Structure 1
Amino acid sequence: MADTKRKILFSALRLFAVYGYEAVSVSQIAGELGITKGALYRHYKNKRDIFESIFKYVCQLDVERSQNAGIPEKEFSEMPHSFGGTSLESLKKYMISQFYYWSKDEIACNFRKMLTLEQYKTAEMNALYQKVLGSGPLEFIEDLFREMLKYRGYCEDAAKHMAVEFYSPFYLMLSICDATSNQNEKKIIADLYVAYVEQFMQKYSFLSYLEIERNKNETNY
């Protein structure tokens, strides 16, 4: 992404996070950067184009984190066969990287703040908020646990309960993190979340054990 285009995105998102998407004009964004509207329009068609570019950028980074952790990068309906073989270790790596990303990265933090403001104003933004931070991640994790349980020979009825148990602290600790600008406090919150994930993995470690046994048996045949 060209430097000027990136600067426009960063500046626009900072304004969106403070005033909300609807309240910010193209003139304000250009003024923040010290450029004319005409100069801005050479890079983006309109404010909506800026917003869609921000969302595309955030989604691209999420795909990269998913791939790095070994987590399916698409929803269950698009790649169902990738969910069952997911390991607890991959899920742990992914969720911890998600927490640090959503709590520390400037783009992610401002995007999340903007959605929090805008979710009450339009149905579109409410749906996007849910997709990115609410029901979307919860359903994704439920799909993961359901398929992991099924793949390992367990009844998948507990998947929804496990998903709520696993995702709720992520959502809560992000909210608590927002309430402080003190970096030491933010680190304590992050460490607390990581410790919770570790405890959760220990509680459901039987999933990892069964996976190891399954792999051993397949190797022996």
Structure 2
Amino acid sequence: MNTKERILNISLELFAQKGFSGVSVRDIASAVGVRESALYKHFKNKQDILDSIMVIMKERIELVYQENEVPEVITEDVVQAYKELSLEKLCEISWNLFSLFTKDPLVSNFRRLLMREQFGNEQVARQYGESYLLGVVHKQSKTFAKLVEGKLFREENPEIIALQFYGPILLLFQQYDCNPENEDQIKGYLNEHIRVFGKNYSR
């Protein structure tokens, strides 16, 4: 890991712990083990570090979606992809993504940073909404609209379907943050949620 990457990783960890406004450039330089002048060789200021983190994390999350073969990311024929997807495989994909957002140090710190800073930073609030709130619902609603149109799901408002799918998962994120030792129980809830959701909406 080079110095620039270390600056980004350690900054993200500090921002998640103390908040963006609670961390100074001096704090970051000290934690990385470099002089402030060395940090400015890579970034203009603290905001530049945050902006870089935003871009990198968005790319990282998109890559993980591709690696886990999420149908709407890897193919345009979403209906056929979901027809061929077993419940077991869907649960596996869902848990892999859930684990990324809760256990991967970088991604989980990014999520905590967004949650912490959403009320005092408009840029972060927009990113949090896009990455974890209604932005997710909007993206998922497009998939559900295709499943409804393809007669795989029964006729309902795709936005409401997406809300009913994602809402419990967002709750499980919070539950994991509070009680990571209950991982097996949370995984069971997630799998059962997916099973019941599919049963309720599938034709």
TM over 0.5: yes
Larger deviation, residues 103-112 vs 57-66:
57-66
Asked whether the equivalents of residues 173 and 189 of structure 1 are also in contact (C-alpha less than 8 Å), the reply is: yes
For 1:53-132, what aligned pairs fall within 5 Å after superposition?
53-68=52-67, 69-73=69-73, 85-87=80-82, 89=85, 94-132=93-131
User: Residue 15 of structure 2 aligns with which residue?
Assistant: 16
Distance in 1, matches of 2:72 and 2:44, equals 33
Larger deviation, residues 189-198 vs 15-24:
189-198
Q: Give unpaired runs (5+ residues) of structure 2.
A: none
Task: Please state how far the C-alpha of 1:31 moved relative to its aligned partner.
Answer: 0.8
Could you tell me the TM-score, scaled by structure 2's length?
0.84
Task: Please state how far the C-alpha of 1:171 moved relative to its aligned partner.
Answer: 0.4
Distance in 2, matches of 1:203 and 1:154, equals 9
Distance in 1, matches of 2:108 and 2:100, equals 8
The Cα RMSD (Å) is 2.6
User: Residue 193 of structure 1 aligns with which residue?
Assistant: 190
Give 1 or 2 for the bigger CA radius of gyration.
1
Asked whether the equivalents of residues 66 and 73 of structure 2 are also in contact (C-alpha less than 8 Å), the reply is: yes
Amino acid at match of 1:54: I
Task: Please state how far the C-alpha of 1:92 moved relative to its aligned partner.
Answer: 5.0
Task: Please state how far the C-alpha of 1:54 moved relative to its aligned partner.
Answer: 1.7
Distance in 2, matches of 1:179 and 1:97, equals 19
User: Residue 219 of structure 1 aligns with which residue?
Assistant: none
Asked whether the equivalents of residues 65 and 97 of structure 2 are also in contact (C-alpha less than 8 Å), the reply is: no
Distance in 2, matches of 1:85 and 1:23, equals 49
Distance change (3 Å), C-alpha of 1:201 and 1:45: same
Asked whether the equivalents of residues 79 and 152 of structure 2 are also in contact (C-alpha less than 8 Å), the reply is: no
Check if 1:176 corresponds to 2:175: yes
Give the count of matched residue pairs: 198
Task: Please state how far the C-alpha of 1:154 moved relative to its aligned partner.
Answer: 6.5
**Structure 1 stretches of 4+ moved >6 Å:** none
- Alpha-carbon deviations, 1:92-135, whole Å to 9, x = none? 55433221111111111111111111111132222111111110
Percent identity over paired residues:
26
Task: Please state how far the C-alpha of 1:38 moved relative to its aligned partner.
Answer: 1.6
Distance change (3 Å), C-alpha of 1:140 and 1:156: farther
